[in-house]
């Protein structure tokens, strides 16, 4: 089991290049299955979740080759529509192949992803969407099995703007007969990226980013070369690193519109953020002001930045409140932050954070990816050494995190 050790107290300074987006790359990799022509993806981050998705595509028979940050995916050899429990349990997002398999072959059998540390995460919205498109969907023996004699365009109203359900339905509908309209669709930048990728393949999709998506199905999709967007959550994590260490960090490879909800909240705490040579400069200031925030689907504040923001607010001058509305159980990092001296109380879906002047290094455990990121951030500012166990959660989503932070002046080491 790998651990990360951080010796806190250093002010972070310098330039960091943000990697390609994990949450864009995963559905785009799945979408490559929609075509029998090879696709080339650039700016793919070298992280564990992407390696799991590579394994998923290979299990289905696709060819997958990596050259640096480029992935070449050849869907011509796909000969299976079934994904076993082993892979879906490793990573929930492997369920994204379901929409693509249904779109290309009209059928798919995928094991239920199971629960995870941050909530139960059902698949009902995905299944309702597939059903509306004309699939019979059976749920038995831990699998979801979809079969259709031909997909037909339809109107789908999502009860909640689920990111994964929107992506899965978009992929299946891209090759359905006729027009599909998804209302109350997720509006995240990663959905827009998936639309752009699919349209480059020859799909006819518009409206992503606005809440209603219109997909005119096409018979075939081709192969393309595509650059994925920068990772807004990695960018946000480095922005908090600047704020928490009173640092001065320039972020390269960012799209500032994608970061607006994060920038707005960080500015409220007193962190200064300005555009700089096509990137963003983030200047940490003291004292940090307390803020209240609620996680919401985009363009609201992202749930994937909630734990990192909580680490920052643990050091603010005053009391903040965070309400988590997207996931039912996303406060697993609270006990670990408390071990480091944070004063946080939980009331249902709300966390009340009384800022303290100092945190202290401790032995803590990463319970999931973003919880782990929050612990690294707290450790950067804590007095003494922090050992973060279960660091594999962090490597799922952050490329080369130790080196990127080291180059900014952090004392951080991987301890295997
Ligand atoms: C994606 C992101 C994840 C992020 C989340 C919310 C990827 C690979 N992952 O996850 O990092 O935290 O969006 O921004 O892009 N729900 C249902 N029924 C469903 C589907 C979802 O009730 O059929 C609920 C979930 O339990 C959860 C909420 O909707 O409470 C949000 O889930 P969703 O938007 O689907 O997140 P993911 O796509 O799993």
The DSSP result for 280-312, as a single string, is EEEE--SSPPP-EEEB-STTSB-GGGHHHHHHH
Q: Which atom of ligand 1 lies closest to the CA of 93?
A: 8
Q: How far apart are CA 321 and CA 291, in angstroms?
A: 7
CA of 162 to the centre of ligand 1 (A): 5
For position 277, what pLDDT does the model report? 87
- Look-up of token digits 């192969």: 223
Q: What is the dihedral of CA 127, 129, 133, 136, to 10 degrees?
A: 20
What tens digit of pLDDT does each residue of 271-302 get?
999 999 889 999 998 899 999 999 999 999 99
What tens digit of pLDDT does each residue of 54-105 get?
999 999 999 999 999 999 999 999 999 999 888 888 898 999 999 999 999 9
CA of 121 to the centre of ligand 1 (A): 7
CA of 318 to the centre of ligand 1 (A): 32
Q: List, by residue number, the catalytic residues.
A: 116
What tens digit of pLDDT does each residue of 97-136 get?
999 999 999 999 999 876 566 666 789 999 999 999 999 9
Say yes or no to pLDDT of 334 above 80. yes
For position 140, what pLDDT does the model report? 86
How many CB atoms are located within 10 Å of the residue 224 CB? 18
List the beta strands (DSSP E) in 130-246.
136-140, 143-147, 155-157, 179-183, 204-206, 213-216, 225-227
DSSP 8-state assignment for residue 10 = P
pTM: 0.97
What share of the chain in percent tops pLDDT 90?
92
Query: Ligand 1 in contact with 160 (CB < 6 A)?
Result: yes
Most ligand 1 atoms within 8 A of CB, residue of 94, 308, 326, 369 to mutate: 326
For position 84, what pLDDT does the model report? 86
Closest Cα to atom 4 of ligand 1: 304
For position 113, what pLDDT does the model report? 79
What tens digit of pLDDT does each residue of 181-211 get?
999 999 999 999 999 999 999 999 999 999 9
For position 117, what pLDDT does the model report? 67
What share of the chain in percent tops pLDDT 70?
98
CA of 352 to the centre of ligand 1 (A): 24
For position 164, what pLDDT does the model report? 97
Average pLDDT in the 220-233 region?
Answer: 97
Closest Cα to atom 38 of ligand 1: 164
Average pLDDT in the 140-145 region?
Answer: 90
Measured in degrees and rounded to the nearest 5, phi and psi for residue 263 equal -60, -45
What tens digit of pLDDT does each residue of 164-174 get?
999 999 999 99
How many CB atoms are located within 10 Å of the residue 339 CB? 17
Q: How far apart are CA 234 and CA 248, in angstroms?
A: 17
Q: Which atom of ligand 1 lies closest to the CA of 186?
A: 34
Most ligand 1 atoms within 8 A of CB, residue of 163, 193, 232, 374 to mutate: 163
Query: Ligand 1 in contact with 364 (CB < 6 A)?
Result: no
């Amino acid at each position: 089991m790998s651990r990360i050790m951080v010796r806190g107290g250093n002010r972070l300074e310098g330039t960091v290049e943000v990697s390609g987006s994990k949450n864009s790359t995963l559905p785009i990799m799945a979408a490559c299955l929609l075509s029998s022509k090879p696709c080339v993806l650039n700016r793919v981050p070298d992280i564990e979740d992407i390696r799991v998705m590579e394994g998923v595509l290979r299990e289905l028979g696709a060819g997958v080759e990596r050259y640096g940050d480029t992935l070449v995916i050849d869907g011509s050899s796909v000969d299976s529509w079934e994904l076993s429990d082993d892979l879906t349990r490793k990573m929930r997002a492997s369920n994204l192949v379901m929409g693509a398999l249904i779109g290309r072959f009209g059928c798919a059998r995928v094991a239920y992803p199971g629960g995870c540390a941050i909530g139960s995460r059902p698949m009902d919205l995905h299944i309702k969407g597939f059903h509306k498109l004309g699939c019979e969907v059976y749920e038995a023996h831990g699998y979801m099995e979809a079969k259709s004699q031909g997909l037909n365009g339809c109107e789908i109203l999502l009860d909640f703007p689920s990111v994964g359900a929107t992506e899965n339905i978009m992929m299946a509908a891209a090759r359905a007969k006729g027009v599909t309209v998804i209302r109350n669709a997720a509006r995240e930048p990663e959905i827009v990226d998936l639309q752009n990728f699919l349209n480059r393949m020859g799909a006819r999709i518009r409206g992503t980013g606005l809440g209603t998506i219109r997909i005119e199905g096409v018979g075939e999709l081709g192969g393309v070369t595509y650059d994925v967007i920068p990772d807004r959550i990695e960018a946000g994590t480095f922005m908090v690193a600047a704020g928490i260490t009173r640092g001065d960090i320039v972020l390269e490879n960012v799209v500032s519109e994608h970061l607006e909800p994060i920038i707005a909240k960080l500015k409220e705490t007193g962190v200064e953020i300005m555009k700089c040579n096509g990137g963003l400069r983030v200047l940490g200031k003291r004292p940090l002001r307390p803020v209240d925030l609620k996680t919401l689907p985009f363009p609201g504040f992202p749930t994937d930045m909630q734990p990192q923001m909580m680490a920052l607010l643990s050091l603010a001058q005053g009391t903040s409140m965070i309400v988590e509305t997207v996931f039912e159980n996303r406060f697993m990092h609270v006990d670990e932050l408390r071990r480091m001296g944070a004063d946080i109380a939980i009331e249902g879906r709300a966390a009340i954070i009384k800022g303290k002047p100092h945190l202290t290094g401790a032995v803590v455990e990463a319970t999931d990816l973003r919880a782990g990121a929050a612990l690294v951030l707290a450790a950067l500012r804590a007095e003494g050494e922090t050992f973060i166990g279960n660091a594999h959660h962090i490597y799922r989503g952050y490329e080369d995190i130790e080196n990127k932070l080291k180059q900014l002046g952090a004392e951080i080491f991987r301890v295997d």
